């Protein structure tokens, strides 16, 4: 007993960083690790797609048409005779990049905005949050259509537009978190030690709010992916022959009785990604929650 206790104390002495600590706890969560592995795998595939895709995503074989899975086309072909696996790989590139980039945009703006408003409070808070309310009230479709009309159709713009719409909820959540954290003793201690406001925000408040942020982020990514599919379907996002998972599913759903694989396979990949994200988010929340860290 005493030996073991001793070991633990010396372990603490040598010091484990917050990140490493979280990593150790994350590793114990098998579902989260599984999710992470799948996501990393999808990312690697997406990165390597131009080199490893079995076919060219644009090449059609009209005579072949829609065929089910076979040795030549593992996941079958669509009505234009295009290889579905290739379509899914290229679609994944777009879906994953839209999902993550737009979410990062939303995350950066939302967290910054919300924590500043929440920490400073008073009139600044009121003005900043009313702005959020006003943006909330704008019908976002019109907002995005306007952006598309003014700047033309552009993938990067699509990311930004979606991100610029999605940050609002993030800002509200962050503000609420910061308002409760601000009252806590450790913040008062930091103030007493004479730390600057920005230092307090970055070092003390944001890390403590990481749990809700991560959870909401994992909810945002699937939302963004669906939003992209919706916009593309309306002709505002991705246009053929480029594709995304959302679009593949939308088209697949139209012919699900005749060619079910056109819906099932893209649906499977989207669902797997979303599940992985959720499990990973769950695990990360547990791992990163500093308040429960030393329980």
Contact map string, positions 187 to 226, toward another protein, x by CB under 8 A: ----------------------------------------
Q: x/- contact string, 31-60, with another protein (CB under 8 A)?
A: ---------------------------xxx
Nearest to 156 by CA among 213, 101, 195, 233: 101
Selected binder of another protein within 55, 80, 143, 230 (CB under 8 A): 80
Identify which of residues 145 and 195 has a Cβ nearer to another protein in the complex: 145
Among 1, 62, 192, 193, binds another protein (CB under 8 A): 62
Does position 139 interact with another protein (CB under 8 A)? The reply is no
The residue (of 107 and 161) whose beta carbon lies closer to another protein is 161
DSSP calls for the chain: -HHHHHHHHHHHHH---HHHHHHHHHHH-HHHHHHHHHHHHHHHHHHHHHHH-SS-TT---TTT-S----SSSTT-B-TT--BHHHHHHHHHHHHHHHHHHHHHHHHHHHHHHHHHHHHH-HHHHHHHHHHHHHHHHS-HHHHHHHHHHHH-S-HHHHHHHHHHHHHHHHHHHHHHHHHHHHTSHHHHHHHHTT--HHHIIIIIIHHHTHHHHHHHHHHHHHHHHHHHHHHHHTTSS--TTS--HHHHHHHHHHTTTT-THHHHHHHHHHHHHHHHHHHHHHHHHHHH-TTTTT-
Nearer to another protein, 243 or 278 (CB): 243
Q: Name which position in 112, 179, 255, 272 contacts another protein (CB under 8 A).
A: 255
Number of residues lying near another protein (CB under 8 A): 19
Residue 79 touching another protein (CB under 8 A): yes
Binder among 19, 50, 54, 65 for another protein (CB under 8 A): 65
Of 67-75, 124-132, 195-203, 253-261, the window that binds another protein (rule: CB under 8 A) is: 253-261
Q: Work out whether 63 is an interface residue with another protein (CB under 8 A).
A: yes
| Residue number with CB closer to another protein (257 or 295) | 257
* Shortest distance (Å) from residue 63 CB to another protein: 6
Give the Cα separation of 144 and 117 in Å (integer): 26
Q: Contact positions toward another protein, by CB under 8 A?
A: 58-60, 62-63, 65-66, 79-80, 153, 235, 239-241, 254-255, 257-259
């Amino acid at each position: 007993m005493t030996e073991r206790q001793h070991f633990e104390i010396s372990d603490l002495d040598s010091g484990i960083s917050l990140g490493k600590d979280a990593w150790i706890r994350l590793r114990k969560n098998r579902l989260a690790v599984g999710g992470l592995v799948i996501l990393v795998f999808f990312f690697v595939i997406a990165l390597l797609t131009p080199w490893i895709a079995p076919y060219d995503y644009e090449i059609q074989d009209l005579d072949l048409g829609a065929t089910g899975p076979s040795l030549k086309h593992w996941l079958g072909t669509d009505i234009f005779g295009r290889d579905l696996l290739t379509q899914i790989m290229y679609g994944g590139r777009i879906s994953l990049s839209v999902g993550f980039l737009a979410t990062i945009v939303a995350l950066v703006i939302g967290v910054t905005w919300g924590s500043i408003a929440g920490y400073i409070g008073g009139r600044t808070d009121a003005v900043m949050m009313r702005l959020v309310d006003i943006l909330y009230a704008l019908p976002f479709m019109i907002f995005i259509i306007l952006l598309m009309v003014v700047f033309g159709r552009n993938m990067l713009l699509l990311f930004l537009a979606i991100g610029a719409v999605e940050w609002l909820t993030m800002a509200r959540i962050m503000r609420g978190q910061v308002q409760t954290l601000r009252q806590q003793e450790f913040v008062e201690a930091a103030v007493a030690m004479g730390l600057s406001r920005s230092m307090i925000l970055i070092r003390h408040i944001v890390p403590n709010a990481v749990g809700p942020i991560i959870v909401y982020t994992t909810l945002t990514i699937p939302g963004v992916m669906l939003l992209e599919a919706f916009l593309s379907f309306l002709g505002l996002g991705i246009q053929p022959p480029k594709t995304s998972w959302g679009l593949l599913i939308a088209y697949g759903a139209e012919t699900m009785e005749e060619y079910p694989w056109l819906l099932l396979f893209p649906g499977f990949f989207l669902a797997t990604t979303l599940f992985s994200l959720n499990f990973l988010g769950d695990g990360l929340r547990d791992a990163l929650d500093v308040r429960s860290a030393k329980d």
